[in-house]
Amino acid sequence: MGKTCFLFPGQGSQIVGMGKDFYEQFTIAKNTYKIAEEILGFNLADISFQGPEQRLKQTQYTQPALYVHSYIIARLLEERGVKGDAAAGHSLGEFSALAYGDAFSFEEGLELVKGRAQLMQEAGDKNPGSMAAIIGLEAEEVMTICIDSQDEGVVQPANYNSPQQVVISGTKEGVAKAMELAQAKGARKVIELVVSGAFHSPLMISVVENFGNMLEKTRIQLGTIPVYANVTANPVTTSQEIRSLLHDQLTHPVRWVETIQNMVRDGVERFVEVGAGKVLSGLVKRINREVNIVQCGSVEALNAF
């Protein structure tokens, strides 16, 4: 039988109420949310379970909420004998993947996520940008569109999500121009995203130095399973490479298509989306229809394993 890979979702997958069913039924969930509250300084369980949605959407809350939720589910899957032979995460999800792979502890990872989320929230507040999904054009076409829009402002690919979906990021003017050109080029859909900042773009440059300092102070080791990095789409090979790639991830695109393709190349046949939403399941299906993909974001789904 082929390998199983755990995939961890990123920002945009959050749902008000996520984690509540685990909290009510499993001691590990209660204890994990208690530890999270001590580290974060706010009641993450209350925000995750009750919202309101507008608050949960704020980067400083979204990222810790997704990280904690995914981590709990991964450990509960392990208790049932379901383990990932490899892991990857989309943007913020990369931290969940590394924690699952024991590159750092849950607590150390949450400290990083807390700092990253706060810095990204501040960067978005000080230097507002925009992001948009371009659907129905090849990646090369989207890159050309971004280059042709540079006279209006900064804009670049942020997420290579599927062969026909690329998310772009940059200044509001740059993204608006690229959206206009994409529509003129015949894109099937052009959707401006509701985000608090221009993630994975040069507009996050103000975050880089401070987050780099956090990474240098964190104990990081090469984990127990291959973890595929967003920046390279390949497994990390050293602890210093993990630091470097988490640092670069802030301003570089997420190469999700290549990540899934490389995992299949390396023998992965089953993907388990560990956490809220079904975003990654949908993307995997668009990248490779031959692999098996299942989603585990609720107690009901957990009990099906």
Q: 93-117 burial, b for 16+ CB within 10 Å, e for fewer?
A: bbbbbbbbbebbebebbbbbbbbbb
264 touches 270 (CB < 8 A): no
Asked about 90 being catalytic, the answer comes back as no
Catalytic residue among 91, 96, 149, 169: 91
Catalytic residue among 70, 90, 169, 200: 200
List the structure tokens of 36: 């999270």
Asked about 91 being catalytic, the answer comes back as yes
Round to whole Å and give the CA distance between 228 and 10. Answer: 15
List the structure tokens of 265: 């190349």
What is the set of active-site residues?
A: 91, 200
